[in-house]
Amino acid sequence: MSVETHKELDDFFRSMRQAYNSRDLKLYRSHFWTNERFVNLDPSGRIDAGWGAYEEILDQEFRYMEKVTLELRDLRMTSFDAAAIAQGEWRVVQIDPDGREVEQSGRASFTLVRMRDDWKIVQQHFSADSEGE
């Protein structure tokens, strides 16, 4: 992967995390392919088929939670011309309006495609750490 492409993808994921952490659904959405063929697999086993299904979950989460924080660590990225994959570790901390904190973490993978001049996530998968890790 070229240094330029690596920097583009690194900047892309930084921007995505910042949008999530600021609960800016419009900006967060701009990182994704907002098509009915988009697929999100979350750690609970839920499959959101289509951007609309995933956006509904995000909208509820962003509205209900007092604070959300997404971290991505040790992302390994590989590009293939107009496509790329990334895998790494994730951690989310959510604080509800009563101050209760819920933390989840695990592994994540992303499939991206260059559409026009921008990268878009077309599929993502989050799996939770095994109990006891």
| pTM over 0.85, yes/no | yes
Q: Give the model's confidence band at 81: pLDDT under 50 very low, under 70 low, under 90 confident, else very high.
A: confident
Q: Give the model's confidence band at 44: pLDDT under 50 very low, under 70 low, under 90 confident, else very high.
A: confident
Q: Give the model's confidence band at 15: pLDDT under 50 very low, under 70 low, under 90 confident, else very high.
A: very high
Residue 87: how many CA atoms within 13 Å on its side-chain side? 3
Distance CA 27, CA 59 (A): 13
The domains of the chain, with CATH numbers, are 3-128 (3.10.450.50)
Distance CA 70, CA 9 (A): 17
CA distances to 1, 3, 108, 117 from 89, in Å:
21, 22, 6, 27
